[in-house]
Amino acid sequence: MPKKISNAEMDKWLTDYDKGKPIHEIASEAHKDVRTVSKRIDQARKEQENRVVRRELMKEALLSHNEDISQFITSIKGALVVPGYDLYIPDRESRFKSDIQFSSAIAMFDSKQNLIIRFNGEDDLRWKLLVEHLGDDPVMVSIPNWKRALIAHLNTRIAFKEKVKESLEFKTGLKITNKGIDELKEPGILVFTVELFNEVVIKPALDIPDTTNLRDNILLTADGYILHGKAGSKLAFAPKNGPAVCDGMKTSLSDLYQCDEIKKVRITYLTIKEQTNNLKEGFEELTLIGLLPGTCRVCKRISA
């Protein structure tokens, strides 16, 4: 039985032939028939061309995969922002039904009302592939730090909103009501007022100028409604003790600017701002490198 000709031997014949050695000389040195050598040289050339084509295809596929993940990183980086002053914080009663959503993440309440942060994109396959690529890269360390800082900040925002409700009720002697202004027949403070006070006091804590001048624009109408400005929104209904309620609301507002809860909002804001900047910088470095570190399951499939 003739000895099987190895790929290495065929490649050597092709190399020798391309360097100018005649086929009959190659055949003589290998103790093979000229027709066999000629046929195997043609076979080796086709296989070499196929390998070159495959390498180019693999290169293009890897570059395309790298570009896809890089664009995904860019989209994540672009959505990374510190929660704004107008972030909606659900009431205690509705937290099992409401999540806190913003551009870079979603905060969900578990059965014990503890916050869980899901990065926008974590359910995307590209996120899983990115995690495989990065391994123990500093960016992967920054992500849990960012989540912890975000949870701490959101918890202070939740506590402050509760403080706003508590302060308004205590200083005015009225209850917060979920009724609309047209339904409000009994004395009470509208939920809108809680949101307004919350936003107005939060703004300076987040380095955002506030131009509402709310305290000087809490006004009482002749029929007992308390407004934000002469033509502004209704804040409360106090037909019997309107002046005292107005004063109580103003006192509440002044106290809120100095309360411990808003100071904690400020502290955690500075932390989440720093962590957000660190994470954005880490993602920016990854995109500037141009080629992702490490490999993932897709890379391995392409290279197989």
How many C-beta atoms lie closer than 10 Å to residue 136's C-beta?
A: 8
Give Cα 23 distance to the centre of its chain. Answer: 65
Token pair 């960012």 is found at 146
pLDDT value, residue 56: 84
**pLDDT tens for each residue of 228-279:** 987 788 899 999 899 999 999 999 999 999 999 999 999 999 999 999 999 9
**pLDDT tens for each residue of 205-222:** 999 998 888 999 999 999
- Min mean pLDDT across 21-25, 68-72, 189-193 is at 21-25
278-304 mean pLDDT: 87
**pLDDT tens for each residue of 97-131:** 578 887 777 888 887 778 888 877 788 899 999 99
- 95: Cβ–Cβ under 8 A, 6 or more apart, which residues? 109, 113
**pLDDT tens for each residue of 4-60:** 888 888 778 778 778 888 888 877 887 888 888 788 878 778 888 777 777 888 888
| CA 119 to each of CA 61, 105, 108, 204: distance values in angstroms, whole numbers, following the listed order | 28, 4, 11, 27
Task: Calculate the dihedral angle through the C-alpha atoms of 208, 210, 215, 218, rounding to the nearest 10 degrees.
Answer: -120
Partners of 177 in the β-ladder: 190
For the chain, how many helices (H) and strands (E)?
9, 8
For residues 248 and 169, the answer to whether their CB atoms sit within 8 Å is: no
How many C-beta atoms lie closer than 10 Å to residue 111's C-beta?
A: 6
From 276, 272, 268, 273, select the one nearest 158 (Cα to Cα).
Answer: 268
SS (HEC) of 249-289: HHHHHHHHHHCHHHHHHHHHHHHHHHHHHHHHHHHHHHHHH
Write down the pTM of the prediction: 0.79
